[in-house]
Amino acid sequence: MQLIRIALTKGRLEEQTARLLERAGMDLAALREKGRRLIIPLPGGCFELVLAKAADVLTYVERGVCDVGVVGRDTILEHGGSFYEVLDLRLGTCRFAVAGLPGTDLSAGHEKKVIASKYPNVAAAHFRQRGIDAEIIKIEGSVELAPLLHLAHAIVDIVESGRTLRENGLAVLEELMPVSARMIVNTTAMKLKKHEIGALIDSVARAVEEDI
């Protein structure tokens, strides 16, 4: 059996993915005891895990150094890439939304609207589709500050419960789309390791369905 290298997004999604992979039959004791290691071979020699930041998971899979990856749909939409998106894992479920001070009307007036976001490509595409002239400012940290400091009319961000928005006096102005974690596969690996990757997809898909 050929080795399958799987890139996992570090952090909260890593833990959620680990539980799913265990339900799919993987022995992840080595991951639980990883320490500071970033590459973790699993027992049996069939799988190897690579821990990476979300955007890097896309790069590693697209460039073929990892066969499979688990990453949020938000990252895929923002960065794009050439790979197969094969499975919705239904983990990390949340949504893209436009948020701002209550009562903000982004369609009012003729001035260019300023939008702050950690996802400038997603934000730009949305406002372009709506026909609203918008300047997009990329924010790396707490994007909620932008409307509070009058840097931007509104923000585009990932919203889960909405608690952070409410505690900062902001409200969802428009919901864009749901997002969740996806399994992606390198296009060449899908051909060269078709049997092994197909079996992995099937076992993970069963685990996803059993968890519903």
> Please, which contacts does 193-201 make with residues 24 or more away whose CB atoms are closer than 8 Å?
193/2, 193/4, 193/67, 196/1, 196/2, 196/4, 196/46, 197/4, 197/67, 197/68, 200/4, 200/24, 200/68, 201/86, 201/87
Q: Are 49 and 40 in contact (CB under 8 A)?
A: yes
Mean pLDDT, residues 68-79 taken together? 97
pLDDT at 55: 96
pLDDT at 179: 96
pLDDT at 212: 59
Mean pLDDT, residues 101-126 taken together? 93
Q: Are 153 and 127 in contact (CB under 8 A)?
A: no
pLDDT at 4: 97
Mean pLDDT, residues 55-79 taken together? 97
- Pairing type for strands 39-41 and 154-159 reads unpaired
**Both structure tokens of 124:** 């730009």
> Please, which contacts does 145-153 make with residues 24 or more away whose CB atoms are closer than 8 Å?
146/116, 147/99, 147/100, 147/101, 147/104, 147/116, 151/114, 151/116, 152/100, 152/114, 152/115, 152/116, 153/100, 153/104, 153/106, 153/113, 153/114, 153/115
**pLDDT per residue as tens digits for the range 126-155:** 999 999 999 999 999 999 999 999 999 999
3-state secondary structure of 70: strand
pLDDT at 94: 95
**Both structure tokens of 173:** 């102005």
Residue 108: pLDDT band by 50, 70, 90 thresholds? confident
pLDDT at 111: 85
pLDDT at 42: 95
For the whole model, what pTM was predicted? 0.90
Domains observed in the chain: 4-92+180-210 (3.40.190.10), 94-177 (3.40.190.10)
Mean pLDDT, residues 1-18 taken together? 94
pLDDT at 211 over 80: no
